Structure 1
């Protein structure tokens, strides 16, 4: 049985951010285009949006980050520190002032952070709660309208870092526009019916096989697994192919869904792929309560 209908505050503060990783170029160029069109007064937004280039120094150098991964800098400890020296740590505090402060009543109601992946993940929305009805309704809306959606960050691939592919850029542009269309409809008082959404919940990350003495990688993702993001992986299925030619198989006790398979940026994080469970989440019908001020908890 579906949950009862809910009235939620309108979304008056929305941000679209690109270039959090400076070599993920779909978001970089989408932000460039949005800022250029806004300057020329050619863009008709369905809702007022703050558009931000998150890490301009990394974008200028076309690198993931200059000193520290900006995407890992938004902890309360970092944001509240009195003195920072790393560029990305300082930048995270600047973004927190611009878009937050995090957790406050003045913070953005919705932030769409644009990313690319080298993995064959299609269009994915990554959120951190299975009871965030706004994000789950946006997922449902995109699933019905965007091309090849998988489900706060938008992740789309495959695209090598440091270059841009037209089809990936256009898919991201379409998804952002659909997201903003949904916000406009929601803010106008339209009701969105409940239903179910398929979600993938992270279970664990898997590292590459490594030499026990040198810790160097001794195997690559198996060809039968490569590019099969979100395809069910069964116990005993090939997972890695060692450089000596040995097939190493998945030893888990349950079938799981792999994603971020062989993401190039995750070599430094010792992650060859992530594994998730898929389930359906029932979401209630929602509608904006137009006279309610949205607060943070």
Structure 2
């Protein structure tokens, strides 16, 4: 397949980095706090030298959940912000509305409003996972040339797993409510490389075409459950635990029941598991997700 097609892309003058969407995923919380401190120092220097102020918007998304070191206060903020893409963000709210619904409106006004000329051009939302996924980017389209070029750039400089104009950075393993130095540092490096790419792009650099490997989600798998109580009856098999993005073949061990029996993968094709045994997904009924690996073309790009 040819890769020499040239794609003109819009400049990215407004970039947002958000941490604490889930208040107990602490790498993003502490990284945004550190970046805010550095940004204040830089802005003070720029004001003294009469330079243009920094253009990266840094946001602590869910302050109440952060204060309580909980994933959320009332409901998952991720789901609330996703709803804004499909429903009007300005309708009336009840006095009893969940905190995260109210906060999603505030974030929409801060980062948008959606579809408006004032909306930010790129959002990177920082997350931790208890799964052994390394540094992983999750995007919502495999045709977003800006995200694909950022992903390709990052794959060239660091080990990265991609799951395809906003993107979430997932990094683990890290227990919720804990910050690990190596995980924090890996997130910091990933954010720095992403912002470096944006600066290079905005300054007029042309990025060559090529290919990028992505993982496209196929389905979720729940834990085995008791038909009456709906309690889980098995855990992730030891042979699968911590093997995120390692190919899972039909008949490979999948679960181990609490009585010691092995439950095997009954799929018809080999797929790549990820979010294996993610702590926060027990409530969602997800033991792991399965994806296909794809080799996607990334056309040559330049600032329009």
Structure 2 regions of 5+ residues with no counterpart?
A: 47-51
User: TM-score under structure 2 normalisation?
Assistant: 0.92
Instruction: For residue 235 of structure 1, report the CA deviation from its aligned partner.
Output: 0.3
Instruction: For residue 80 of structure 1, report the CA deviation from its aligned partner.
Output: 3.8
Indicate the residue corresponding to 1:150 in structure 2. Answer: 161
Instruction: Report if the CA contact (8 A) 2:39-2:54 is conserved.
Output: no
Structure-1 separation of matches of 2:135 and 2:104: 26
Q: Relative to structure 2, which stretch is displaced further, 75-84 or 42-51?
A: 42-51
Q: What is the 5 A alignment of 1:27-66?
A: 27-41=28-42, 48-66=55-73
Instruction: For residue 35 of structure 1, report the CA deviation from its aligned partner.
Output: 1.2
Residue from 91, 99, 103 that aligns with 1:81:
91
**Residue 257 to residue 127, structure 1, CA distance change in 2 (3 Å):** same
User: TM-score under structure 1 normalisation?
Assistant: 0.94
**Residue 46 to residue 220, structure 1, CA distance change in 2 (3 Å):** farther
Structure-1 separation of matches of 2:21 and 2:290: 24
Instruction: Report if the CA contact (8 A) 1:3-1:282 is conserved.
Output: no
**Residue 46 to residue 278, structure 1, CA distance change in 2 (3 Å):** farther
Instruction: For residue 48 of structure 1, report the CA deviation from its aligned partner.
Output: 1.4
Aligned residues: 288
**Residue 113 to residue 39, structure 1, CA distance change in 2 (3 Å):** same
Structure-1 separation of matches of 2:193 and 2:54: 12
Instruction: For residue 3 of structure 1, report the CA deviation from its aligned partner.
Output: 5.4
Tell me the secondary structure at the aligned position of residue 226 of structure 1.
Answer: coil
Q: What is the 5 A alignment of 1:76-225?
A: 76-77=86-87, 79-84=89-94, 85-146=97-158, 148-151=159-162, 152-225=167-240
Indicate the residue corresponding to 1:257 in structure 2. Answer: 272
Structure-2 separation of matches of 1:273 and 1:266: 8
Structure 1 regions of 5+ residues with no counterpart?
A: 290-297
Residue from 67, 72, 76 that aligns with 2:74:
67
